[in-house]
Amino acid sequence: MKKYLTIFWTTIIASFLASACQPALTESTPTPFPPTFTPSAIPTQTITPTVTITSTSTPVPLVPNFSQIVIIIFENKEFGTVIGNPDMSYFNQLADSYTLLTQEYAIMHPSLPNYIALIGGDTLGITENCANKDCYINAPSLPDLIEQSGRTWKTYQHNMPEPCFTGDTLKYVRKHNPFIFFDPIRLDAERCQRSIVPLTQMDADIAANALPNFIFITPDICYSAHDCDLKQADAFLKEQMDKLSPALESTGEPYLIILTWDEGQGDHSCCGLPEIAGGRVATVLISPQVKANFQDDTPYSHYSILKTISEAWGLPYLGHASDLETMLITAPWK
């Protein structure tokens, strides 16, 4: 009996121990199939189209739009007579410091046709100095175009006795004053009195801050180097530059001063001029807008000076300024 009780309790204890070692069963929520996705869980991407913008820059003008342009003109000396000559030390200093045109040519001989060409684009039938006769011209000129553009002009004539004077004196000669030969200027008394004036008027205009846009300065028969030596012409130039340069610089606007000669001593020619022309002359361009220590060897004529002034101010080309052979001055500008 005792044997059977031992077997019974052994079985009960083993069964209890076996159930205690089993892991507890827990109820879990079944995973649906297939899985469910929420749309907001999907990443989104915003695509911005690429736009290419091509910038269009304003073309650089061929010639700067100068506020003021000045011409100072001397007489009857060839390029080689002037450049390197110690008697014109100040002129050469400017030529070295700014831009020198090494191949610029006058139109013909004698003086007056060159002056006419500079503002008229042609000699307009003038082949002499017209000392003993009237050679007046009924034709448009640079001053007409300047006024039409809303700009102003004056010629300051050294030792001219009074505004709009039509004769000659021992020092002042009208053959070096082209403006007085154009009927539309000379015959308009108010216009003539206002714009063809003695050089002394320039001092008053500088003091009044009233310099015009276009200035044309002619020395008298001595200081132009026509009758007197180069040292006196050089001294005259320095005197005028000492007045003009500060006045022009004080405006803060672009300006150009052109130093040139009406004709040379030879018959050299170029660029559409007759085979025999007015010689090679030394022309210097002075401006904050020109290259320093620069020499331009492009062949130019006096018509190129007129063409370049017209281009700077958007004016029509007069006469031979429109010729293809008349080169526009472009190389010296910065």
186-220 pLDDT tens trace: 999 999 999 999 999 999 999 999 999 999 999 99
Q: Are 283 and 266 in contact (CB under 8 A)?
A: no
pLDDT exceeds cutoff 80 at 243: yes
Higher pLDDT, 111 or 31: 111
280-286 vs 99-105, strand pairing mode = antiparallel
| 160: Cα separation from own chain's centroid | 32
The stretch 126-153 carries a mean pLDDT of 96
Return the CA Rg of the chain: 44
Q: Are 273 and 300 in contact (CB under 8 A)?
A: no
Contacts of 317 (CB under 8 A, 6+ apart): 121, 306, 307, 310
The tokens describing 209, both together, are 């801050």
| 301: Cα separation from own chain's centroid | 19
Residue-range domain boundaries for the chain: 69-322
Task: Tell me the pLDDT of the chain averaged across its residues.
Answer: 88
Which helix (H) or strand (E) is 104 found in, with range? Answer: strand 99-105
Q: Are 69 and 214 in contact (CB under 8 A)?
A: yes
Q: Which residues on neighbouring strands pair with residue 72, listed in sequence order?
A: 217, 259
The tokens describing 18, both together, are 């076996």
Q: How many CB atoms lie within 10 A of CB 245?
A: 14
Q: Name the pTM for this structure.
A: 0.83
Q: What is the model's pLDDT at position 61? A: 92
The tokens describing 43, both together, are 């990443």
Q: Which residues on neighbouring strands pair with residue 260, listed in sequence order?
A: 73
pLDDT exceeds cutoff 70 at 317: yes
Q: What is the model's pLDDT at position 59? A: 79
Q: Tell me which CATH code domain 69-322 carries.
A: 3.40.720.10
Torsion of CA 262, 263, 268, 270, to 10 degrees: 10
